[in-house]
Amino acid sequence: MKVAIPTDSGKVAPHFGRAPEYTIAIIEEKEVSKKQKIDNPGHKPGYLPKFFNEKGVDVMLVKGIGRRAVSLFNQFDIDIVTGAQGKIDEVLEKFVEEELDEKSNPCKPGKGKDYGIEKED
């Protein structure tokens, strides 16, 4: 299984689309077998789900996310797990142990505005 996490300074970024980078991890037999960081390719509506699909990502671990973004990711069969926060290694460990609290989704429309990478018109 391949998971992606929006990353900022080694922690989960508060807004997935505007994170400076993403951590992509491969999980095999309840172990992280490989981990790499990639730069954010840019934030345009609908682009990131396609981008992560092309990277083979199965699951996106996020702090919070809007309903429209969830729908776009689901069109590419990418599952969204909310409630991720803190250091990337700890989040991966919680995910492997099925301990992420998915009830927490602090994302509200417009909340990610002006965070990180600038919006393209």
Residue 107 falls inside a structural domain = no
Nearest to 95 by CA among 22, 2, 14, 20: 2
In a domain, 35, yes or no: yes
Residue 92 lies in a domain: yes
The reported pLDDT for the residue numbered 43 is 77
Mean pLDDT of 21-43: 94
Q: What is the 3-state secondary structure (H, E, C) of 65-94?
A: CCHHHHHHHHHCCCEEECCCCCEHHHHHHH
pLDDT reading at 113 higher than 50: no
Question: In which domain, by residue range, is 90 found?
Answer: 2-96
Per-residue pLDDT at 110 exceeds 50: no
- What is the model's pLDDT at position 64? 83
Q: Is residue 82 part of a domain?
A: yes
Q: What is the number of structural domains in the chain?
A: 1
CB 78 within 8 A of CB 98: no
22 within some domain = yes
CA–CA dist 88, 66 (Å, integer): 21
Residue 68 belongs to a domain: yes
Q: What is the pLDDT of residues 51-90, one digit of tens each?
A: 999 999 999 999 988 888 899 999 999 999 998 999 999 9
What gap in Å lies between CA 92 and CA 99, rounded to an integer? 10
Residue 59 lies in a domain: yes
pLDDT greater than 80 at residue 108: no
Which residue from 120, 119, 118, 116 is spatially nearest to 14, judged by alpha carbons?
Answer: 116
Is residue 27 situated within a structural domain? Answer: yes
| Mean pLDDT calculated for residue range 40-47 | 86
Q: Are 35 and 5 in contact (CB under 8 A)?
A: no
CATH number at residue 37: 3.30.420.130
pLDDT in tens, 97-107: 988 876 544 44
